[in-house]
């Protein structure tokens, strides 16, 4: 069953958790034993981190990278060696992917969305439906907010020809986490390629500004109002509908505030800007940061925003046929995902400047992939 072992250098390019996520997911899917060396060698604290982005703060005792690796191991009854905090090398030997209920808990504010990113491609090729119980931060820094996953990632990734359900049980924030999300999905025979080239024009802008815990509702209203004012300076002819929300006490653990704003186009493209509140940062600033991020994502002429591009790479690599997406500048995360999809899955990617006339003055690219046509052996 197992092929020759794949050797991965964990210090190159993005040099962090993303290399682990992409390479272990592909190893699991393709039944290839894997060794990753020099994990996070370029980072301030090398090795498997306690939540990565705040690894100098030792309160995060149990790392999100580790829970992601353990989840992949459990999905396929694989063998995982060297996976402990501070480890710079792991080996992983996958077995057959199985459906059923799987649980992963970062025990911190480590992101449930990153756990979803690593496990979702794998369970699509399981033998039966899966239910993923993911615990940690739902709205955490340096990772997509759960609202982004539901409002932007979900409708676009489902174009590959599958459906999933994401049930947000509890929201959790930095530093305690404590959020829980249940993801349900059925396996597929194959993934369809996608063709996202036509951006269309922006038809709707909407979003949610939330407060949770002890924070006053006024903070949500101020974030929303500041964001609307900022967007109006550039986009005058559209109604901007950002709802201020007080998260219900029983559905939120800890205190937090943040905002996500979505722009939808006539062809169904979705772009987002988001920001999370931090102690000492006023509400207006949080709203403006999200609005400016959205506006920047609308200027480049692509069909996906900077956070979606890398999340689509693995699915493009697995699909049966040629996928194309149009993006703004290609991020380091995307370059990293492409590198490992080519190295491990042998998918073929071409990244080239867009030749459309309206993109001539912009930093716009086409990412094209000849997918490997992965077939589910169980169906």
Q: Which residues are catalytic?
A: 333
Q: What angle do CA 93, 95, 101 make, to 5 degrees?
A: 115
173 marked as part of a ligand binding site: no
311 marked as part of a ligand binding site: yes
246 marked as part of a ligand binding site: no
309 marked as part of a ligand binding site: yes
Radius of gyration of the chain (CA): 20
Contact 248, 235 (CB under 8 A): no
Contact 25, 72 (CB under 8 A): yes
Question: At a CB cut-off of 8 Å and minimum separation 6, what does 323 contact?
Answer: 193, 194, 195, 312, 315, 316, 368, 369, 371
Q: What angle do CA 26, 29, 30 make, to 5 degrees?
A: 85
Contact 271, 255 (CB under 8 A): no
308 marked as part of a ligand binding site: yes
- Say how far residue 112 (Cα) sits from the centre of its chain: 9
48 marked as part of a ligand binding site: no
Burial class of residue 59 (count of CB atoms within 10 Å of its CB; 0-12, 13-18, 19+): exposed
SS3 7: strand
Q: Residue 220 and residue 243: Cα distance in Å, rounded?
A: 8
List, as residue ranges, the binding site for ATP: 117, 307-311
List, as residue ranges, the binding site: 117, 307-311
């Amino acid at each position: 069953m197992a092929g020759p072992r794949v050797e991965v250098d964990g210090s190159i390019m993005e040099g962090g958790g993303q290399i682990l996520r992409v390479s272990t997911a592909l190893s699991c899917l393709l039944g290839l034993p894997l060794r990753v060396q020099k994990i996070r060698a370029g980072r301030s604290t090398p090795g498997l981190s306690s939540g990565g982005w705040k690894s100098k703060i030792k309160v995060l005792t149990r790392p999100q990278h580790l829970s992601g690796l353990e989840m992949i191991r459990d999905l396929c009854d694989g063998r995982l060696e060297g996976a402990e905090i501070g480890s710079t090398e792991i080996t992983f030997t996958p077995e057959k992917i199985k459906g059923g209920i799987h649980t992963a808990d970062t025990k911190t504010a480590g992101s449930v969305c990153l756990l979803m990113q690593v496990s979702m491609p794998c369970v699509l090729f399981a033998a039966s439906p899966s239910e993923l119980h993911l615990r940690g931060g739902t709205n955490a820094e340096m990772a997509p907010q759960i609202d982004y996953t539901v409002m932007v990632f979900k409708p676009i990734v489902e174009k590959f020809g599958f459906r999933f359900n994401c049930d947000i049980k509890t929201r959790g924030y930095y530093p305690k986490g404590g959020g829980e999300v249940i993801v349900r999905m059925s396996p597929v025979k194959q993934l369809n390629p996608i063709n996202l080239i036509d951006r269309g024009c922006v038809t709707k802008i909407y979003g949610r500004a939330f407060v949770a815990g002890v924070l006053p509702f006024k903070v949500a209203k101020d974030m929303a109002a500041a964001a609307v004012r900022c967007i109006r300076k550039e986009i005058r002819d559209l109604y901007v509908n950002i709802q201020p929300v007080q998260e219900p006490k029983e559905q939120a653990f800890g205190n937090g505030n943040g905002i996500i704003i979505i722009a939808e186009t006539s062809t169904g493209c979705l772009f987002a800007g988001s920001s999370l509140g931090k102690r000492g940062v006023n509400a207006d600033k949080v709203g403006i940061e999200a609005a400016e991020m959205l506006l920047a994502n609308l200027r480049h002429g692509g069909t996906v925003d900077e956070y979606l591009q890398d999340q689509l790479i693995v699915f493009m690599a697995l699909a049966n046929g040629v996928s194309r997406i149009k993006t703004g500048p290609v991020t380091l995360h995307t370059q990293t995902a492409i590198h490992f999809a080519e190295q491990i899955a042998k998918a073929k990617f071409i990244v080239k400047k867009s030749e459309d006339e309206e993109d001539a003055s912009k930093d716009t690219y086409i990412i094209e992939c000849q997918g490997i046509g992965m077939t589910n052996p169980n169906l």
